[in-house]
Amino acid sequence: MRLDATNFANLGSKDFRILTAIEVGMKNHEYVPVPLIISIANLPSCGIRRIITNLHKLKLVAHWNKQYDGYKLTYLGLDYLALRTFSLGGIIESVGRRIGVGKEADVHIAKESKGELVVIKFHRLGRKSFRTIKLNRDYLGKRSYASWMYLAQIAAKKEYSYLLSMYEKDFPVPKPIEINRHAIVMQYIDGVPLSQVRVLKTPRNTLETLFKLIIDMAEIGIIHGDFNEFNLIVDEGNDKLYLIDFPQVIPIYHQNAATYFNRDVNCIVELFNRKFKVIACDYPKFEDVVSDELIHSIRSAQPHLKINNGDEIALQNFFQHNSSYVTSENDSDSSLYSPNDEKESDIHESGSDEYKNGEGYQTILKNDTDSDNIIDDDDATEVTSDSESADNYHIKKSNPIQIWRPYISRNREKNIQENVRNKLRNKSKSEQRKNCRQNKIKYNFEH
């Protein structure tokens, strides 16, 4: 399911309380019963079902009513919760359409509060197009009911951890800005994937730079695991290369570390031989780069962000099983450059960051205020999103992203006029029925 932020600004605090309550209930339920949702949300039961039904119509939750009446979050509902956190925290002001899609994530262009362009990467593990769901569910164990969203959040945490660590060590990676749930806000790179570059000024120097990057990563204890042309962004301004996509990173002491290291190297060697006609006679090998002393020092070092060993194994198994499968759409989530004639959606809201980093759910639900204190319908704008494919756009740097307020205003005015017409029509029908009843009573009385 792709992000459709059309209804974001129309949701109130009660809607988000319900979504958060369902998220909390999914920790130990596949489908959360309605009474438990009401209990966690700490809201009056009157009107709750109407709110849940509306969320279901918007495809933010999924319904199940076989043994009992229950609901669970969809990826779109999780997207809305993450966007709300970014919006309330002042991280994101507006969000545009999808500019990249891959096997495990979608990438959207966005604008932060200062007006700078950023990208939001939404991890989406467990797509149906993998065609290996049954195989994957074998290793998820008792958490299979919440496996995909749970693993998506773990993958986001892992990627953010490595991004932050590598950025602090001056590696050529996008600057990580914020993480919430399964979404990461990171620096916008004005470039194109290496897969779309036909000519390089100095291809041999670029190849040597990539070899050095692989070696430098191994020296700090990590192997990328998916080092290919789709995960390398070329900055057109200075021919600088940026590396992206880190959920499948493994440490150098992993049992398959040598295999992944050599595969990354061979992938680059074959690419430059095939596309740029550069033959690499000498290239790095795992046994020459990684020594026992290095492995021992990396093992003893504390990771920047701890991840449960079981979660780490589950992620590694997931990426191993799905490494040979691709989606029917673009095979990369690395197209991080501005599309032509971009439409952007304003998701700005006032208030404090109630959902910072997804913590303190119970406190949030107890202390949350009424929707009027969170969203002012006169000030909030509708959210628009473009449903066009990310494959059909071209670079046009002279057209920056804009917020389409006139388009939003026209839609709002049209909706208001339609509501007025409906009210007048209903009033007219009501008067007609009333006159009909009076005439019928008068006729019966006279006869």
Q: What confidence score (pLDDT) does residue 316 get?
A: 64
pTM of the complete model = 0.71
Residue 29 falls inside a structural domain: no
Number of domains observed in the structure of the chain:
2
Question: Could you tell me if residue 312 is inside a domain?
Answer: no
**Across the chain, what does the average pLDDT equal?**
76
Condensed to tens digits (0 to 9), the pLDDT of residues 321-351 reads: 655 433 333 343 433 333 333 444 555 433 3
User: What pLDDT score was predicted for residue 194?
Assistant: 93
Residue pair 230/331 in contact (Cβ under 8 Å)? The answer is yes
Q: Which helix (H) or strand (E) holds 120?
A: strand 117-123
Of these ranges, 283-292, 421-430, 432-441, the one predicted with the greatest mean pLDDT is 283-292
* Residue 437 included in any domain: yes
pLDDT of residue 20: 97
> CA 390 to CA 109: how far, in whole Å?
11
Q: Residue 423 domain-assigned?
A: yes
291 compared with 315, residue with greater pLDDT: 291
Q: What is the mean pLDDT of residues 398-426?
A: 54
Over range 429-434, report the average pLDDT: 84
Report pLDDT for 360.
39
In a domain, 394, yes or no: no
pLDDT in the model for residue 4: 85
226 is catalytic: yes
Residue carrying structure tokens 């604008």? 111
* Parent domain of 428: 404-447
pLDDT class of 156 with cuts at 50, 70, 90: very high
CATH number of 212's domain: 1.10.510.10
pLDDT at residue 32 above 70?
A: yes
pLDDT at 126 over 70: yes
Which range of 141-155, 281-295, 350-364, 394-408 scores highest in mean pLDDT? It is: 281-295
Distance of CA 415 to the CA centre of its chain: 30
pLDDT tens profile 6-23: 889 889 999 999 999 999
- Cβ–Cβ under 8 Å, residues 366 and 42: yes
Checking if the pLDDT of 309 tops 80, the result is no
What 3-state class would DSSP assign to 72? Answer: strand
pLDDT band at 447 (very low <50, low <70, confident <90, very high): low
pLDDT at residue 138 in the model: 37
Q: Would you state the pLDDT for residue 210?
A: 96
State the Cα angle at 246 between 298 and 129, rounded to 5°.
135
Question: What pLDDT sits at residue 335?
Answer: 38
Banded pLDDT at 88 (limits 50, 70, 90): very high
Contacts of 121 (CB under 8 A, 6+ apart): 105, 106, 107, 156, 159, 183, 184, 186, 333
Note whether residue 343 is domain-resident.
no
Asked if pLDDT for residue 371 goes beyond 60, the answer is no
Taking residues 265-273, report their average pLDDT. 95
The active-site residue out of 4, 15, 106, 226 is 226
Cβ(109)–Cβ(117) below 8 Å: yes
What mean pLDDT is predicted for residues 371-398? 32
Predicted local distance difference test score (pLDDT) of residue 262: 95
Assigned domain for 165 exists? no
Q: Please tell me the predicted confidence (pLDDT) of residue 401.
A: 33
Q: How confident is the model at residue 153 (pLDDT cuts 50, 70, 90)?
A: very high
| Torsion on CA atoms 302, 308, 310, 313, rounded to nearest 10 | -50
- At residue 324, the pLDDT reads 42
Asked if residue 319 is part of any domain, the answer here is no
